[in-house]
């Protein structure tokens, strides 16, 4: 079968060697005589997997000792509510930035737990950019924002500074894609299925010093302190997702870590954005200074040419570039494991399309 160039927004593609080792472990894991997914999560081999996964996360994100790592279920969607339960005091408030669909979902869930002030929004401009985040009222426990918006193809190129309150971020779609200063953060959470591994687990990097201070009676499963006390094993963890995430982080570390993959991601994004801007048949969706390097959104200037362009990229073995239904157009998602040669195939198709029109 010919190679498929998978630009899907998620779940992400994974490195070939990671898929190979993970698939072999499902059949029989090393010399244990059992499949990975039928072994006890309390067994020594899997406990070592969880420990290594958490350790690699801290190392790759360059997190200080005040942070602890959790790998849980429920995805970032449950993280929206979990964040509010653990960080908004009884009768308290928090500041949120509205940058699109997922930010709105986070705001909706947080409003179950306290007063939420939307301090910045680009809703009126159709979310083609992200708003600047400055100082917020000190009454707020934190400022929450979504670092990368998969649907609209926007991203904070620089993290906020001098906000006056701790930062909390949903980094589901650009975690481990670039270096950043973690000092201002109180909590970073991310679904694994974009850059870190398969769907099924969500990572929390939490400042352990901020837990247990809300005055709330938090349901056990939503209490991050409970999960820390059980080393991410309060309940049976998603063993395959955690194991494969560990393999992916080993791959990333061997590649040179986040600094190395950031250079590659910049090269991939520059290649495709250059063609979008050069080719008179296409236009980018997001404002130039807010363009995502993970999810590149663009459209045809003449929609009547859509069927011909669709035929060309399908014939080239390209998959998953149709834009989200709320935006339309096209979206090329280029997470860490996306090879540069797949991006070049898409660029070549766009050039051929221009040549034959």
- Evaluate the omega torsion of the peptide bond into residue 92 and state whether it is cis, within 30 degrees of 0: no
Q: List, by residue number, the catalytic residues.
A: 102, 170, 194
Could you give the count of Cα atoms lying within 13 Å of 352 in the half-sphere of its Cβ? 14
Dig out the tokens for 28 from the structure.
Answer: 């029989």
Identify the residue whose tokens are 């708003």. Answer: 131
Residue pair 285/128 in contact (Cβ under 8 Å)? The answer is yes
Q: What is the C-alpha to C-alpha distance for residues 189 and 169, in angstroms, rounded to an integer?
A: 6
Contacts of 23 (CB under 8 A, 6+ apart): none
What is the C-alpha to C-alpha distance for residues 214 and 54, in angstroms, rounded to an integer?
26
Q: Outline where the chain has alpha helix (H).
A: 16-27, 44-61, 75-87, 101-110, 224-229, 239-255, 257-278, 306-315, 340-356
Residues near 243 by Cβ (< 8 Å), separated by ≥ 6?
A: 22, 25, 36, 46, 49, 53
């Amino acid at each position: 079968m010919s190679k498929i160039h998978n630009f899907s927004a998620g779940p992400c593609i994974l490195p070939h060697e990671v898929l190979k080792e993970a698939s072999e472990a499902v059949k029989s894991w090393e010399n244990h005589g059992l499949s990975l997914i039928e072994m006890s999560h309390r067994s020594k081999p899997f406990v070592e997997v969880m420990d290594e996964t958490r350790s690699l996360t801290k190392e790759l994100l360059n997190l200080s000792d005040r942070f602890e790592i959790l790998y849980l279920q429920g995805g970032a969607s449950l993280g929206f509510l979990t964040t509010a339960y653990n960080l908004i005091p009884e009768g308290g408030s928090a500041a949120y930035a509205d940058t699109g669909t997922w930010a709105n979902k986070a705001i909706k869930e947080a409003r179950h737990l306290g007063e939420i002030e939307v301090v910045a929004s680009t809703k009126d401009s159709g979310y083609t950019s992200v708003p600047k985040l400055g100082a917020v009222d000190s009454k707020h426990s934190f400022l929450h924002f979504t670092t990368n918006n998969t649907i609209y193809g926007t991203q904070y190129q620089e993290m906020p500074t001098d906000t006056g309150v701790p930062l909390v971020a949903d980094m589901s779609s650009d975690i481990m894609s670039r270096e950043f200063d973690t000092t201002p953060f109180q909590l970073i959470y991310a679904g694994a299925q974009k850059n870190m591994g398969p769907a099924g687990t969500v990572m929390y990097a939490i400042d352990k010093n901020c837990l247990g201070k809300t005055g709330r009676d938090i349901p056990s499963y939503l209490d991050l302190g409970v999960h820390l006390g059980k080393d991410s094993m309060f309940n049976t963890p998603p063993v395959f997702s955690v194991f494969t995430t560990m393999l992916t982080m080993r791959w990333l570390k061997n590649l040179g870590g986040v600094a190395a993959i950031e250079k590659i991601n910049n090269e991939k994004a520059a290649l495709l954005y250059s063609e979008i801007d050069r080719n008179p048949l296409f236009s980018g969706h997001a404002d130039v200074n807010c363009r995502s390097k993970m999810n590149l959104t663009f459209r045809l200037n003449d929609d009547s040419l859509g069927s011909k362009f669709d035929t060309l990229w399908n014939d080239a073995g390209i998959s998953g570039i149709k834009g989200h239904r709320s935006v339309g157009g096209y979206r090329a998602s280029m997470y860490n494991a996306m090879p540069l040669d797949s991006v070049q195939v898409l660029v070549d198709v766009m050039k051929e399309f221009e040549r034959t029109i």
